Amino acid sequence: MRELEIARSRIRQSPHGDVERILQQVIVALETNTSIEVADIYALDYDNFSLVMDMMRSWWLQRYVGVARNGVAGGDGYLEKRSAASV
């Protein structure tokens, strides 16, 4: 995921910046299936907002392909809960 590497590079360059804090929160949320305040994402400038949207698009595509290949994306609590509930 090229977008993820771009975000991580920005975080390494300026670990205490407001934008980088939001990028880090997005990465953590995507990797751990936790939530993030949408208002924080909306507060970003256009370039960083686009980066976050591209990260989310790539993340979704990886999950979609994983589900198509394996039936359930690895570590996806939401899909696992839905699958267990339907049994």
With vertex at residue 65, the alpha carbon angle to CA 59 and CA 70, rounded to the nearest 5 degrees, is 120
Containing structural domain, residue 23: 2-85
- Total count of domains within the chain: 1
Residue 85 and residue 79: Cα distance in Å, rounded? 10
pLDDT of residue 80: 52
Alpha helices in the chain (DSSP H): 2-13, 18-32, 38-42, 46-70, 77-85
Give the contacts of 62 (CB within 8 A, at least 6 positions apart). 1
Joined together, the tokens standing for residue 61 give: 């595509």
Q: Are 31 and 6 in contact (CB under 8 A)?
A: no
Q: Are 27 and 1 in contact (CB under 8 A)?
A: no
pLDDT at 84 over 60: no
pLDDT in tens, 4-60: 889 999 999 998 999 999 999 999 999 898 999 999 999 999 999 999 999 999 888
pLDDT of residue 2: 86
